Amino acid sequence: MTLERITVAEAAPPPPAARRSHSVIPGFGLTLGLTLLWLSLVVLIPLAGLFLKTAELPLERIVAILTAPRTLNALKISFGLSLAAAAFNLVAGAAIVWALVRYEFPGRRVLDALIDIPFALPTAVAGIALTTLYAENGWIGSFLAPLGIKVAFTPLGIWVALVFIGLPFVVRTVQPVLEDLDHELEEAAATLGAGRFTTIRRVVLPAVLPAFLTGFALAFARAVGEYGSVIFIAGNLPNVSEIAPLLIVIRLEEFRYADATTIAATMLVAAFILLFVINGLQRWQESRTGRLA
Amino acid sequence: MSFNFKPAVAAALIAALAAPVAAPLAARAADVSLLNVSYDPTRELYAQFNKAFAEKYKADTGKTIEIKASHGGSGKQARSVIDGLDADVVTLALAYDIDAIADKGILAKDWQKRLPENSSPYTSTIVFLVRKGNPKGIKDWDDLLKSDVKVITPNPKTSGGARWNYLAAWAYALKTYGSEAKAKDFVANLYKNVPVLDTGARGSTVTFTERGVGDVLLAWENEAFLSKKEFGDDKFDIVVPSLSILAEPPVTVVDKVVDKKGTRAVAEAYLNYLYTKEGQKLAAENFYRPRDAEIAKQYEKVFPKVNLVTIDDPAFGGWRKAQKTHFEDGGVFDQIYSN
Amino acid sequence: MSASPVRSESPAVKWTVIALASAFIGLFIVLPLINVFAQALVKGWEAYAAALVEPDALAAIELTLIVTAISVTANTVMGLVMAWAITRFSFKGKSFLITLIDLPFSVSPVVAGLVFVLLFGAQGYFGPWLFEHDIKIIFAWPGITLATIFVTFPFVARELIPLMQEQGTTEEEAAVTLGAHGWRVFSRVTLPNIKWALLYGVLLCNARAMGEFGAVSVVSGHVRGETNTIPLQVEILYNEYQFQASFAVASLLALLAIVTLLAKTFLESRVHARRTRGGH
């Protein structure tokens, strides 16, 4: 959950003892061996099975599956709406983080704790709750319906679900960095005559930018793979509101294993890439502020 | 640095976490257990039927039986059985889904001949469920193409009911407009009015009834009746189109599983019970059309007279052909959706 | 948090930002949560209680507890082992190893379920062998447990790794020099230092394990009373017109979320205290 807490071991200045190649601490062989065994059994071998299954297919078949309009549309919907949701979370997250870190107001601590609800609330529960809220006869949906805005069972509904699950990633990534930001810089800028807006833009923003991008990438990565909260609210209409993970399930249910595994393998490659981007962003943050994002 | 982490606390924590594991996983103490893997709208039917059969079994043999059920879109359920779900019996929405299981060698190829009436102890058809008073004036298939009508139906790739819906529309268009090209246009236009495609019939019913989406639900007749029963007669009306399709949801024993578990006899007894007066009555009570002439007569008034085509009509040529033409990769349904 | 005048905005801006933030959290986060309880209680407390003691619901709760107990125990033990290997020794490829441990976080839950179907399904790599030996994995609790372990794989390890890294190895080395053996070093030196972070990781792991839907849905088979976990039971009831019952069962998970948050807030303060005292 607190994805922002991942640290890249080698990037941190290692404590002097860790540099020693022969540590006096026992258990190296045992723990590393177990680590590799466990990792292989639970994660690597199953994922390798997926690639193996995909590799059994001729290349033309893989290309045909991935370029089929329905696949392309599902990927477009998943990645596009995830991007839109992460972008919105960037803006909303900025306001929330700023309010939580820089202002004192009644209920601040409660608000702070509530941010983690989407982490802790199971996705299926979030899915049915959001659907009930935003359906035309729901608490929010009934207000929007007269305005001609439909949320549930449209791409907008998917976006709402993805905003819900992504919000904590941005807030929790940026929050510690903003908290640690040296106030003197801002004061210096102000003393030198910079307006408040200029100070924020020139002093604060550069310092927290990597953290924002990390939060954005984390929210995006989570949203792309999200299933439980989306399927209830999406409408699941091919080419319109069908997300890629749902298409995998549908292909599986249609006995089309080749399609299911190929799309799944593609999603997995995307997950790898995103993970490396996130790692890179975290190193950047660290070099900026000396703090692990 | 404090060194006061109490091992006892840790041990208690781990014990608390592990305790349920020690509880025997198979504590359910029935003498025999059967798994019926079924499709979406049969939930209520089999909840009652399983109870009735368990009582009869107890009376006949003195043994207790536990019947477990799994429900979902028919195609999806067949996939689960193919992937190893240990179903003793399958009771699915259409013959093709059982054929697909048979193709993997999990049950006999000639399964449909093993029980009377094409192994379909009850039948149903496709009707329209509309909002009370029928505000959009929907009377027949043509009305579904009007630009202001939103039609709710599930995804034919995963749902059996959805395939019956689709084929009923196709049959109507073919008979009314005379050519396959026109039928294809008709069905394509129909699906343009579909705002939500759920994976199973029940999902679509929930979308229509509870979520208030759409003007008309293409539904199993039993599902339409059940919706009226659940939500009250003042919420929905049933409209019977001028032509629909005879839906035969078939049942069979899964040979590979019953032979391994040694449950063939009881599984067969279970399916045969569907054909008895009691079984037929339960089917009728749950709005499935009974096969038994006597029971059918009793419930005559419940079921409207509908003009029906069958899947063996030359328009389709049986399930395998219909599946290949319409629902396989690149079939008519895919062509409609890639436009 | 008393801001000096030069670095604060005008009250108008301040209160606008606060209002926006509160509105956003209220609309997107609090309202869905309240909605769960409102829908669950729409028919009163009796119906609520009835929905929870229904046999299939009880079976789902039991299965969820079993699966969670196994998954959390496994991931806790292995999380400790992995964190020990990574933070107590230096070796090549450590950074890559950490990335691999994090991998399950970015894998779609659906894909996580699918990989186990490919391995253990009747048509999968080990399917025929498993059938011959009468071992059930997919559509039974072992498959559900495996999928849950996969999606919760990184939770404990990633809470421990940064903390154990910050703390360094000086204390353990001192203990070894004084003659303590491996297990004793761990239980008397390391464990007291990381206990709050460990509990924190276990808590998050637990919350996710109980609530996992996508991965479990793919491998479950949805046999009521047998292979349905609480989230799957929520979906099934939802699809049976039993909305109130569905939300009643869902409210258990919402309660779990709230308890998790409260415990998390408490543990965070402890972890923080530990860090400022012992770290850096």
Chain C residues within 8 A of A179 when measuring between CB atoms: none
Question: What is the least distance, in Å, from the CA of B300 to any CA of chain A?
Answer: 37
> Is the pLDDT at C160 greater than 50, yes or no?
yes
> Is the pLDDT at C107 greater than 50, yes or no?
yes
For C204, name the nearest residue in chain A, comparing CA atoms only: A1
Supply the mean pLDDT for chain B.
88
**Mean pLDDT on C220-230:** 90
For C124, name the nearest residue in chain B, comparing CA atoms only: B83
B138-197: pLDDT as tens digits:
999 999 999 999 999 998 888 889 999 999 999 999 999 999 999 999 999 999 999 888
Q: Which of C1, B42, C112, C29 is nearest to A119 (CA)?
A: C29
**Mean pLDDT on B236-246:** 95
- Answer whether C199 touches A (CB < 8 Å): no
Chain C residues within 8 A of A122 when measuring between CB atoms: 210-213, 230-231, 253, 256-257
For A224, name the nearest residue in chain C, comparing CA atoms only: C108
Query: Is A19 within 8 Å of C85 when comparing Cβ atoms?
Result: no
**Residues 75-114 in C contacting A (C-alpha not used; CB under 8 Å):** 78, 81-82, 84-91, 94-95, 97-111, 114
- Answer whether B69 touches C (CB < 8 Å): yes
Question: What is the least distance, in Å, from the CA of A290 to any CA of chain C?
Answer: 13
C46-90: pLDDT as tens digits:
999 999 999 999 999 999 999 999 999 999 999 999 999 999 998
The pLDDT value recorded for residue C275 is 59
The pLDDT value recorded for residue A169 is 93
> Is the pLDDT at C262 greater than 60, yes or no?
yes
When scoring B44, B74, B83 by the number of chain C Cβ atoms within 10 A, the one with the most, hence best to mutate, is B83
The pLDDT value recorded for residue B230 is 84
The pLDDT value recorded for residue C132 is 85
The pLDDT value recorded for residue A10 is 40
Question: What is the least distance, in Å, from the CA of C241 to any CA of chain A?
Answer: 13
> Is the pLDDT at C108 greater than 60, yes or no?
yes
Query: Is C192 within 8 Å of B202 when comparing Cβ atoms?
Result: no
The pLDDT value recorded for residue C101 is 93
Query: Is A260 within 8 Å of C106 when comparing Cβ atoms?
Result: no
Chain C residues within 8 A of B24 when measuring between CB atoms: none
By Cβ distance, the residue of C65, C122, C223 closest to B70 is C223
The pLDDT value recorded for residue C280 is 37
- Answer whether C66 touches B (CB < 8 Å): yes
Rounded average pLDDT per 10-residue block, chain A, 293 residues: 40 45 78 94 94 93 92 95 96 93 90 91 94 90 90 93 94 90 81 81 85 93 94 84 91 85 94 89 77 49
Chain C residues within 8 A of A128 when measuring between CB atoms: 36, 234-235, 238, 246-247, 250
**Mean pLDDT on C255-279:** 77
Query: Is C106 within 8 Å of A222 when comparing Cβ atoms?
Result: yes
> Is the pLDDT at B199 greater than 90, yes or no?
no
The pLDDT value recorded for residue C276 is 59
> Is the pLDDT at C206 greater than 50, yes or no?
yes
C141-153: pLDDT as tens digits:
999 999 999 999 9
